[in-house]
């Protein structure tokens, strides 16, 4: 079983921050952290294949007497030399265009929003705080009950501060800060009702 992304103490801090906010508002907050939003296997393989295809031209320029078997061996060696190191995720991520990483992380965030039932709360007041670590991607998704009352761009500053924390490898601090900031908005617009029920889990979900 893979090791948890966050220490148990950090997970408890995040859970406590969710409970603190939900004691004061009818909003439902869920936190999700993913190691990565995709395997991105195609990108290192494509890079290795392209360089391997270029290898014969370079080899024959450097040593015109090489026979086809030697060139084939060089091609295979180039492919392995490029593909093998990219099994290490940080290096593999350098080969993936930023737009692709953002698209895949955004897709996963939206999938989780629906899969976890954030679009099915009683008052349509679900909020997802989502982090994908490999992409250093942060997104806050709110259901329509909240978006109808908060002005456009409300989440931008919270996401910016959250992203800075993620880039500094302070994921738990980022979650707690964002939960507190979201809570302040929710308390103003959605104070907790007497009959409010906790509909979603108050824990950090790891993917």
Residue 198 clears pLDDT 90, i.e. is over it: no
Residue 67 clears pLDDT 90, i.e. is over it: no
Share of the chain above pLDDT 70, in %: 75
Task: Name the DSSP class of 120.
Answer: -
Mapped to the 3 state alphabet, what secondary structure does 33-80 carry? EECCCCCCCHHHHHHHHHHHHHHHHHHHHHCCCCCHHHHHHHHHHHHH
Q: What structural domains and CATH numbers belong to the chain?
A: 8-38+97-206 (3.10.310.50), 42-94 (no CATH)
| pLDDT for residue 193 | 77
Q: In what order do the strands lie in the sheet with 28-34?
A: 137-142, 126-132, 28-34, 204-206
Work out the pLDDT band at 161, boundaries 50, 70, 90.
very high
For the chain, the straight-line distance linking the first and the last C-alpha, in angstroms and rounded, comes to: 12
pLDDT digits 0-9 by tens, 4-34: 888 899 999 999 999 998 888 888 899 999 9
Name which residue leads in pLDDT, 5 or 95.
Answer: 5
Residue 86 clears pLDDT 70, i.e. is over it: no
Residue 71 clears pLDDT 90, i.e. is over it: no
Residue 84 clears pLDDT 60, i.e. is over it: no
Average pLDDT score, the chain: 82
| pLDDT for residue 160 | 92
| pLDDT for residue 15 | 93
| pLDDT for residue 43 | 63
The closest alpha carbon to 147, from 129, 131, 113, 124, belongs to 124
């Amino acid at each position: 079983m893979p090791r948890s992304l966050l220490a148990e103490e950090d997970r408890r801090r995040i859970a406590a921050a969710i409970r603190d906010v939900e004691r004061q508002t009818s909003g439902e907050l869920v936190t999700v952290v993913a190691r990565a939003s995709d395997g991105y296997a195609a990108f290192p393989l494509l890079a290795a294949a392209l360089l391997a295809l270029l290898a014969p031209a370079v080899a024959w320029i450097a040593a015109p007497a090489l026979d086809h078997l030697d060139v084939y061996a060089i091609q295979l060696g180039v492919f392995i030399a490029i593909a093998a190191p990219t099994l290490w995720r940080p290096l593999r991520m350098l080969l993936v265009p930023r737009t692709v990483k953002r698209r895949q992380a955004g897709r996963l965030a939206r999938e989780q929003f629906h899969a976890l039932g954030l679009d099915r709360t009683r008052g349509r007041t679900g909020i997802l705080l989502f982090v994908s670590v490999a992409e250093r991607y942060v997104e806050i998704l709110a259901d329509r009950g909240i978006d109808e009352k908060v002005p456009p761009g409300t989440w931008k500053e919270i996401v910016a501060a959250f992203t800075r924390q993620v880039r500094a490898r302070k994921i738990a601090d980022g979650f707690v800060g964002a939960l507190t900031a979201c809570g302040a908005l929710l308390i103003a617009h959605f104070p907790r009702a007497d009959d409010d029920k906790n509909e979603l889990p108050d824990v950090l979900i790891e993917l």
